[in-house]
Amino acid sequence: MQDDERFMKKALDLASKGQGETSPNPMVGAVIVKDGKIVGQGYHVSAGKAHAEVNAIDDAGIHAEKATLYVTLEPCNHHGRTPPCTEKILKSGIQRLVVAMEDPNPDVKGGGMAYLADRGIMVSSGVLRAEAKSQNEAFIKFVMKKQPFVTLKCAATLDGQIATRTGDAKWVTGETARHYVHCLRHWTDAILVGIGTVRKDNPHLTTRLQNKVGKNPVRIILDTNLSISEEADIVQSTSEAETWVISGRHSASTQAKRDRLKKAGVRLMEAPLRHGRVDLIQLMRLLGREHITSLLIEGGGDIIASAVSAGIVDKVIFFYAPKLLGGNDGVPICRGKGPELMHDAWPVSGIKVRRFDDDIMITGYLAGQAVQNT
């Protein structure tokens, strides 16, 4: 069992190389072991390309015969963009299969392992299952609920403010923490902010990574009244990533502006309103239909509060900088009314702490959303 965990850890490390590139598919890594030595390895590089098992078997060649295959997710037994991996495994002569987690898709769960077991391959599962589920938490939620996995990110001073009274927020955290935020953007399908952030900061919402080209997420702007400036950088951007502006229904009087925004490459989408604002619960369903599997919210205090109160947030990532504004006139992390009693506060579980130079990052899951323990 100790060797199984060691080789599965290697498979998980391989899977992580595909982070940010495989959506809407999961990250998957595979290792082939014979006589205690790795003879083949591979990972799912990007959606539409060969699966991890195929790459590992091709890497092992004839050495795959009578070997053990370690894979972080149950091999597929159905046709998609690529043929089923189970057939490749059978033809390779693999003798034993070790799986970290079953496929969470209710339509195919267990099918790949059962198919191989019925044909004489020794199959076991559950090795480092928690780590595998954590690695693919966005994929798991999407295939089970058809909605994106939502991560809420913010950066604040130790006294809980994300900007000064003038709105200045450059920069709350240091360069190392900000670089990690760009990694978060690379790893996610879409990023969401409110129109207030666009007016104040005029952001590009693109990904800038050191030593590699990052993937730019879809930029989503909540703009109930379609007030976005046609000169905003996010409208004029030449990025390959799309810009979606989400608003309520509009009258014919706004048609000229809508036409100009569309001509500039902006995708305009209407969503139901609740209390005069975009209904975030309904928006998540809409984004799911658009195959957005993961969403990063980087909004201001209003958006953060709205997202939390709507119950759409799965995971929080809070950066705290060793700074104090020392007043109560800055911009708080959340704006608006909260609960009257501490008993009604949103519990955060699965807490992890990480340091970026002098900045502290705290991550956790809201309302029991952590998938690694389910």
Model confidence pLDDT, tens digit, residues 116-154: 999 999 999 999 999 999 999 999 999 999 999 999 999
* DSSP character string of 194-232: EHHHHHHH--------TTSPPPPPEEEEE-TT----TT-
User: What DSSP assignment string belongs to 107-155?
Assistant: TTTTHHHHHHHTTT-EEEE-TTHHHHHHHTHHHHHHHHHSS-EEEEEEE
What's the pLDDT score for residue 105? 86
pLDDT of residue 78: 73
Extract the tokens encoding 166: 């003038």
The C-alpha angle 306, 296, 334, rounded to 5 degrees, equals 30
Note the maximum CA span of the chain. Answer: 73
Catalytic residue among 5, 21, 53, 290: 53
User: Strands 294-297 and 149-157: what pairing?
Assistant: parallel
Alpha-carbon distance of 179 to 156, in angstroms, equals 16
- Interval 223-244: pLDDT, tens: 999 999 999 999 988 788 999 9
What is the separation of C-alpha 338 from the centre of its chain, rounded to a whole number of angstroms? 27
* 53 belongs to the catalytic site: yes
**Residue-level pLDDT at 268:** 95
Per-residue confidence in pLDDT tens, the chain, 374 aa: 679 999 999 999 999 999 999 999 999 999 999 999 999 999 999 988 999 999 999 999 999 999 999 999 999 887 666 678 999 999 999 999 999 999 998 776 668 999 999 999 999 999 999 999 999 999 999 999 999 999 999 999 999 999 999 988 889 999 999 999 999 999 999 999 999 999 988 999 999 888 778 899 999 999 999 999 999 999 988 788 999 999 988 766 678 899 999 999 999 999 999 988 999 999 999 999 999 999 999 978 899 999 999 999 999 999 999 999 999 999 999 988 888 999 999 999 999 999 999 999 999 999 655 444 33
pLDDT value, residue 180? 96
